[in-house]
Amino acid sequence: MTPVDDVVLNFSPGSLNLLNAILAVVMFSIAIDLTPSDFKRLLKAPKPVITGLVSQFVVLPALTFLLVLALRPQPSIALGLILVAACPGGNISNFITHRAGGNAALSVSLTAFATVSAILLTPFNIAFWGSLYAPTREILRQTYIDPVAVAITVGLMLVLPLILGVTLNVKRPDLTQKMRTPLQWLSMGIFVAFVIIAIAANWAYFLQYAGLVAGLVILHNALALGAGNVVARIAGLSQFDRRSITIETGIQNSGLGLVLIFAFFHGLGGMAVVAAFWGIWHVLSGIGLAALMARTEAAR
């Protein structure tokens, strides 16, 4: 069996462009739920948003680094975990938060703020935490990710659709009201179908190496969910807000992770398998956690 650090998955430039477009549509479907007043309201009471951003971009990457130091997985797998932790919250988090009886408005706003913040913080966290661990530092040295190029990629895929969606919601709320639910379901369905097709194209590799990452991804995801809950408790937030921050921290934008892996790391096997397995597992864990949370109404 080829070492996972030497495996390069099959992923054409056309497939990468398609994934970029799908992520842009998913982000647009979330943005049409937002108006400028949502941002103004949160700026007046910023504590939940600041707590969520700290949980996502400071606490989770730091805990991921400690996890890598403790378990010392193969270098490409370790960098895959670091990269996923550096991504903003996943778009499906809004749907899961709603199902969990959490603060859905906070969840949508956190996704938006985290997406904008990711322009700077995602490349910074990949470079910073990846360079602190010698095996991953070697991968970064060999590939060299340009922070400006990462920022442009994130901006085009996520921030531009966010601006367009908010603008359309302000100008034509009647239209976005009709589009909202069908577009959200359609975009998520297309994204899930794309991930399944991409895995099918690399099924032999996925079967060979999924066992190497399954336990790590499950542990990493549990760590992320737990961290979100603990950070929100320390901040003294209500249960209503804690559910949102727990889910926002535990549901990562693994689709963006895959784009970065194929655009800047040439589809490096361990990294791609980590991001793909994350893309499957966090949906299952998130929906399962939401079902448990929904049994009791959250105190506000």
Report which of 236, 213, 203, 256 is spatially closest to residue 85, judged by C-alpha positions. Answer: 256
Angle between helices 269-293 and 75-86 (to 10 degrees): 50
Report which of 26, 185, 25 is spatially closest to residue 91, judged by C-alpha positions. Answer: 26
Kindly state the tokens that stand for 141. 């040295």
The single residue listed with the structure tokens 């589009």 is 179
Report which of 108, 126, 93, 110 is spatially closest to residue 51, judged by C-alpha positions. Answer: 110
- Specify the pLDDT at position 244: 94
In this structure, the number of other CB atoms found within 10 A of the CB of residue 172 comes to: 13
Rg of the chain (C-alpha set): 18
Kindly state the tokens that stand for 220. 């990493």
- Which distant-in-sequence residues (6+ apart) come within 8 Å of 142 by Cβ? none
- Specify the pLDDT at position 11: 62
Return the domain boundaries, the chain: 4-293
- Specify the pLDDT at position 221: 97
CATH second-level architecture of 4-293? Up-down Bundle (1.20)
Report which of 92, 117, 110 is spatially closest to residue 278, judged by C-alpha positions. Answer: 92
HEC-encoded secondary structure of 67-108:
HHHHHCCCHHHHHHHHHHHHCCECCCHHHHHHHHCCCHHHHH
* Contact predicate 156/119, CB 8 Å: no
Q: 57: helix, coil or strand?
A: helix
Report which of 73, 165, 89 is spatially closest to residue 122, judged by C-alpha positions. Answer: 89
Report which of 245, 211, 224 is spatially closest to residue 67, judged by C-alpha positions. Answer: 224
Q: 46: helix, coil or strand?
A: coil
- Specify the pLDDT at position 245: 96
- Specify the pLDDT at position 206: 73
Q: Please report, in tens digits, the pLDDT of each residue of the chain (300 residues total).
A: 566 666 666 666 566 677 777 778 877 887 887 788 777 766 777 899 999 999 999 999 999 999 999 999 999 999 999 999 999 987 778 778 888 989 887 888 888 888 888 888 998 999 999 999 999 998 888 876 677 777 787 777 778 888 888 899 888 888 888 887 788 778 777 777 777 776 776 777 777 777 778 899 999 999 999 999 999 999 999 999 999 999 999 999 887 888 888 878 877 778 888 988 888 888 889 989 999 998 888 877
- DSSP designation for 133: S
- Specify the pLDDT at position 299: 78
